[in-house]
Chains A and B, each alone.
Chain A
Amino acid sequence: MKIQTLTLNAALSTALLLAGNAHAAEFNQVDAARSSLAFSSKQMGVPVPGSFKRFTTQIAFDPAKPTAASTTLEIDLASIDAGSKDANDEVVGKQWFNVKAFPTAKFVSTGVKALGGNRFEAIGKMTIKGQTRDVVAPFTFKQDGASGVFDGGFVLKRMEYNIGEGPWADVSAVANEIEIKFHVVANAAKK
């Protein structure tokens, strides 16, 4: 039964992917060392890049059955690099992420849509600082040898999660919109 589906998937995914390297396979072994989670905030109109050094991702993605895919992402918020030491000290504090009370942020997918070609959309719930919001994150999938490469992002509105309270709620200094960019490399399941 499983084997039959696999064969069928192989045929389908050949159409979907570049010919030759398409083996129907579920990409579910995330390679943390080759994955990254970056963001860009805007301070007084100045784009300031940042990233999270530690996060764990679970992915189960079969390009032949994208709608069956699922993913969860858990971010260790204390691992933030917000562009400068001052900023790093600030954003873990109460008014921003309040990492003492909320050490992690979590994204749990509820569905994946195929948008055509190698483009997809992950739909799910993002929880940060006790606030849960719907998120839609478009991404592309590329097969690179035995690895699947997921690249995508979305715009997070920080005020929806109370990230930056008090004086920091002033979005003319730090814009509401934070651009999130993820790059996840996952290998196909070992047999």
Chain B
Amino acid sequence: MNTTAPRYSGPAIAAHWLIAALILVAFPLGVYMHDLPLSPNKLKLYSYHKWIGITVLLLFVPRILWRITHRPPAALPMPAWQHKIAEGTHHLLYLLMFLVPLTGWLMSSAKGFQVVYFGVLPLPDLIGKSEELGDLFKEVHEALNWALLVLVGLHVAGALKHVILDKDGTLRRMLPFGK
């Protein structure tokens, strides 16, 4: 087994970009939709938002299992503190990838709106209807999202730093078609 493979494995790369793309759609959608006055359009956007978010949650499960059973390629040479920040950011991103959609689901359940995946598959309510819990999870969902925004910002800045300043292969080994 080659644990120092220079590139991320295919499944790791696929999961990374698929989940990143879904989050980058769900996030602005969430910000946009929640201020809209109630309308059929709002109901639709809320549903799309929930379906995308649940997809992230579903993809998270195989992704984290793959990550636990497959070590990522060893870090490229960089100062230890940078490596620590990069790793810490990755761990927190994994945590939020799970907690952000989970709190969204909890919020929906508490607000009395079942999640029906793609309008056809009813998912169980995680908790019973409760106004206080609904408001609480809304706050938590929102707060975790701002944390996510900051971390993704840091994460992307780090990736760009490797491209522009370090001119190393960090981004390339996460890209689908690189070498």
Beta-carbon contacts of A91-113 to B below 8 Å, as 1s and 0s?
A: 00000000000000000000000
Please tell me the size bucket of the interface on B. 10 to 19
B43 touches A43 (CB 8 A): yes
Closest to B115 in A: A46
A83 vs B47: C-alpha distance when bound (angstroms): 16
Q: Is A68 an interface residue (CB 8 A)?
A: no
Residues of chain A with a CB closer than 8 A to B113's CB: 43, 46, 48, 83-84
A173 vs B39: C-alpha distance when bound (angstroms): 9
Task: Say how far B43's CB is from chain A's closest CB, in angstroms.
Answer: 5
Q: Is A49 an interface residue (CB 8 A)?
A: yes
B47 touches A44 (CB 8 A): yes
A84 vs B116: C-alpha distance when bound (angstroms): 18
Q: Is B112 an interface residue (CB 8 A)?
A: yes
A167 touches B112 (CB 8 A): no
**Out of B41, B112, B119, B120, which one reaches A84, CB within 8 Å?**
B112
Beta-carbon contacts of A48-90 to B below 8 Å, as 1s and 0s?
A: 1100000000000000000000000000000000011011011
Closest to A43 in B: B43
A86 vs B113: C-alpha distance when bound (angstroms): 13
Q: Is B90 an interface residue (CB 8 A)?
A: no
A90 vs B37: C-alpha distance when bound (angstroms): 10
For chain B residues 108-124, which have a beta carbon within 8 Å of chain A? 111-116, 119-120
Q: Is A134 an interface residue (CB 8 A)?
A: no
B38 touches A87 (CB 8 A): yes
A90 vs B36: C-alpha distance when bound (angstroms): 13
Residues of chain A with a CB closer than 8 A to B116's CB: 44-46
Residues of chain B with a CB closer than 8 A to A43's CB: 43, 113
Residues of chain B with a CB closer than 8 A to A170's CB: 40
A174 touches B43 (CB 8 A): yes
Residues of chain A with a CB closer than 8 A to B111's CB: 84
Assuming the contacts A44-B119, A45-B120, asked whether A83 and B112 have C-beta atoms less than 8 A apart, the reply is: yes
Closest to A169 in B: B40
Q: Is B67 an interface residue (CB 8 A)?
A: no
Besides the known contacts A83-B113, A174-B43, 5 further A-B residue pairs in the complex with CB atoms under 8 A apart: A46-B113, A46-B114, A49-B112, A84-B112, A167-B39
Q: List 30 A-B contacts (CB under 8 A).
A: A44-B44, A44-B46, A44-B116, A45-B47, A45-B116, A45-B119, A45-B120, A46-B47, A46-B114, A46-B115, A46-B116, A47-B114, A48-B112, A48-B113, A83-B112, A83-B113, A84-B111, A84-B113, A86-B38, A87-B38, A89-B38, A90-B38, A167-B39, A167-B40, A168-B40, A172-B40, A173-B40, A173-B41, A173-B43, A173-B44
Which residues of B come within 8 Å of A, CB atoms? 38-41, 43-44, 46-47, 111-116, 119-120
Which residues of A come within 8 Å of B, CB atoms? 43-49, 83-84, 86-87, 89-90, 167-168, 170, 172-174
- A-B pairs, 5 with minimum CB distance: A173-B40, A45-B119, A44-B47, A45-B116, A170-B40
